[in-house]
Amino acid sequence: MNNTPRLYSDLAWLWPLWGDATVDYAHYCGRVTQLIRQYARRPVGTLLNIGCGGGKNVLNLKKHFRVTGVDLSPTMIDQAKTLNPDCEFIVGDMRSFALGRTFDVVLMDDAISFMIGHDDLSAAFRTAGNHLNPGGVLIATPDVTTEAFRQNQTTVTPAAVRLKPANLDVIFIENYYDPDPSDNHYEATLLFLIREDGVLRVESDRHQLGLFSLDAWRSILAATGFVTHEEEYADGQNEYTVFASVKPE
Ligand SMILES: C[S@@+](CC[C@H](N)C(=O)[O-])C[C@H]1O[C@@H](n2cnc3c(N)ncnc32)[C@H](O)[C@@H]1O
């Protein structure tokens, strides 16, 4: 399997079209902001978005916080900078980067799914903890847990109309399949139906994504030193567990 997702390299130009940042991402960011205010045990001014991708969440969160983004993909970091020229972005691997400074909030959203083993997930939470002020809050939202996983779940999403040129049509098809329920990952297979001036081109990508039980999330967060609260978030199609974890003062 290709280790560099095409969606974050040669096909990254499609990412801005998959969900309108000002609409689809605003709802989630509203919920995140509310949870931060609820659980933080210190004033919150700065936020580190780990795995910030193309900066769609940053676009919404910067209304409330001074945001810094980190992502593994230089292509996605460039995209995040274009969308948010007023924010700071840095290339880094969530398992190991060290900025040498701390923030009031750390957000790990869909990128945390790229942690496919216990060691990787622990390392990512250690990175988060190292960058968090005491009393600060880590928000982590897994795409899916073992309890919520649906074999062969398939979603079809058209490109955001407001953002695409008139001669371009894109349909995003995403399929989740777990060939081996005894391990900690599943396959996401992506198909992109791209029509430019009506001419069809089909591209594909495959991601290996982490799949852990709620208990595994709880115990890894506790072992990393966090005091964790669980909340729900629903986007109309799926329900997610959001972990709001406080770093003890
Ligand atoms: C779905 S995108 C995130 C999109 C983002 N939520 C947004 O608002 O645009 C997932 C991101 O995870 C990043 N990623 C994957 N593995 C990573 C790692 N080990 N460290 C940091 N980022 C990683 C990818 O480069 C990709 O940009």
Please write the tens of the pLDDT for every residue from 77-112: 999 999 999 999 999 999 999 999 999 999 999 999
Closest ligand 1 atom number to CA of residue 111 = 12
Whether 53 lines ligand 1, by a CB cut-off of 6 Å, is yes
- Is the CATH number 3.40.50.150 carried by domain 6-145+213-246? yes
* Cα maximum dimension of the chain: 58
Virtual torsion, Cα 145, 15, 24, 54, nearest 10 deg: 90
Instruction: State the pTM of this model.
Output: 0.96
For range 59-79, the mean pLDDT: 98
Put the strands of the sheet holding 227-234 in their side by side order: 88-91, 66-71, 46-50, 103-108, 132-140, 239-246, 227-234
Rounded distance from Cα 40 to ligand 1 centre (Å): 24
Q: Which residue has the tokens 């959001």?
A: 242
For range 202-220, the mean pLDDT: 97
Closest ligand 1 atom number to CA of residue 109 = 6
SS3 of 36, please?
helix
Token pair of 140 as six digits = 């982590």
Distances 157 to 13, 28, 97, 175 between C-alpha atoms, Å: 16, 18, 33, 12
Whether 73 lines ligand 1, by a CB cut-off of 6 Å, is yes
Rounded distance from Cα 192 to ligand 1 centre (Å): 19
Rounded distance from Cα 197 to ligand 1 centre (Å): 31
